Amino acid sequence: MEPTSRRAVLKAGGALGALGALGIAAPAQAKSLWTWSPKGSVAGAGTGADPRWVWDDEADPLVASLLDRGDVPAVNQVLRTWTKNGQPLPDGLPADLRDFMERARQLPSWTDKRKLATAVEFNTKRGLYLGVLYGLASGMMSTVIPKEARAVYYSQGGADMKDRISKTAKLGYDIGAVNAYQSDGSMIVTAVKTRLVHAAVRHLLPQSPYWTQAADEEIPISQRDMMVTWHSLPTTVMQKLTAWRVPIPAAESTAFLHSWQVGAHLLGIRDEYIPATWTEANSQAQEVLDPVLAVTPEGKALADILLNLGSVIDAGILSKPILGAFTRFMLGDRIAGWLSIPPEPIWDTLLRTAWGPFVAVREGLLPFPLAPAAYWTFDEFLRQAALLFLSEARPISIEIPVVNRQSQR
């Protein structure tokens, strides 16, 4: 089918999907305008174009060509050996892919290595908080971002959602590692491989009859979609830490943001869309993230898989009810209701009343009052959740998909 006629078919299918019962397309999602100014970005300027209609001009045609040429299986095999930032690209890559990856792996000119070093201090101090936040705040929030949930569910990764979630967790692990952007780290590798995966999904998903029936767009993973996901990670994490009154020095807060700014650039997000400050990040999140949150069957399926991940560790403290209670505590009753997470009266009450004092004790802001069992339980939960959502992601290999999910279920 010619590209023009295929786009027309996809447009009709997307419109039907938006009206169907598979998802909720709120007016804010369909009609919200892009008003955020590029003056607030790391670039300090830009065209102001709505990122909903911007994808990845460099990676998309390249990966589409690799798929059409049948080169992807061989490329994946070669790239399995590329695991560290400082490694030369392996032999055997197609010339056009090698040229792209050499450019894509370069840190942006505005990278501040001192800030990246300070970000390591932040990640080291707050690693346990970050583990649970990436998993139960960011991870669970992703299931109520309709476009992201559908893209994950109907792509190849949706057929093995536990594996897909682990690959997402790898990003959180790699960016928080002490050597994240150093030559012996892996964050650059993970980001570049993820950029290639996104380009493949943009090419493949419009060919999926299941995705086109459910989606309200013609091409997935726009620059705006990527910023929505980005805000579900660092912006949401910092908002939660602030709400919990975790004392964070200004330099560490700025450094944490900078590490994610660099990550966004490596993922292929244009500099004009990457917020320069937390104030700008919060402003952009209010425009692009908050209005789109909604429930879909695909998101509910993803959430159920994520809540069941605790079973991989033989410890009752990560049971589905407790993970559900933490999700309700972090994301609120509305989202918990969307995901059919039942109330847990004991844990819900304990979290509402004891979490704030627990954080204050843990941060040395209050004396330790006779070591109540709830405080030990919270600390153990943080430790095990961090292990589950971050450390367990280390052996995962990120590879370019060649097909979509082959069935709806």
pLDDT surpassing 90 at residue 100: yes
Q: Which of 215, 209, 223 is nearest to 60 (CA)?
A: 223
User: Is 164's pLDDT higher than 70?
Assistant: no
Exposure of 409 in the CB half-sphere (CA atoms within 13 A)? 1
Chain mean position to CA 5: 33
pLDDT at 372: 65
The reported pLDDT for the residue numbered 50 is: 95
pLDDT of residue 161: 64
Highest average pLDDT, of 22-26, 148-152, 161-165, 389-393, comes from: 148-152
Q: What is the mean pLDDT of residues 55-70?
A: 98
User: Does pLDDT of 409 surpass 80?
Assistant: no
* 169 has pLDDT over 80: no
| The pLDDT value given to residue 369 | 61
- Helices (H) and strands (E) in the chain — how many of each? 21, 0
Q: What is the mean pLDDT of residues 6-31?
A: 33
Opening angle at CA 166, ends 171 and 26, nearest 5:
80
Q: How confident is the model at residue 166 (pLDDT cuts 50, 70, 90)?
A: low
- Cβ proximity of 154 and 205 under 8 Å: yes
Average pLDDT, whole number, for the chain? 86
Letter for the amino acid at 139? G
pLDDT at 173: 83
Rounded Cα gap, residues 335 and 352, in angstroms: 17
Least confident of 40-49, 96-105, 286-295, 375-384: 375-384
Give the confidence band of 279 by pLDDT, cuts at 50, 70, 90.
very high
% residues pLDDT > 90 (the chain): 65
Least confident of 29-38, 112-121, 245-254: 29-38
Lowest-pLDDT choice from 42-56, 93-107, 279-293, 362-376: 362-376
Write down the pLDDT at residue 32: 64
Kindly report the number of other CB atoms within 10 A of residue 6's CB atom. Answer: 14
Name the least confident of 56-60, 91-95, 226-230, 352-356.
352-356
Q: How far apart are alpha carbons 349 and 344 in whole angstroms?
A: 8
Sign of CA dihedral 76, 77, 79, 80: positive
Statement: the pTM of the whole predicted model exceeds 0.85: yes
29 pLDDT higher than 50: no
Output DSSP code: residue 234: I
Closest by CA position to 114, among listed 255, 283, 295 = 255
Per-residue pLDDT for 20 more than 70? no
Rounded to whole angstroms, the Cα distance separating 197 from 41 reads 25
Could you tell me the pLDDT band of residue 195, with boundaries at 50, 70 and 90?
very high
% of the chain surpassing 70 pLDDT: 83
Tens of pLDDT along 369-406?
A: 655 667 677 877 777 777 666 665 556 778 999 999 87
**Position 286 confidence tier, pLDDT thresholds 50, 70, 90:** very high
Residue 335 has what pLDDT?
97
> Does residue 117 have a pLDDT over 50?
yes
What is the rounded distance in angstroms from the CA atom of residue 294 to the CA atom of residue 386?
27
In whole angstroms, give the CA distance from residue 281 to residue 143: 21
Whether 26 has a pLDDT exceeding 80, the answer reads no
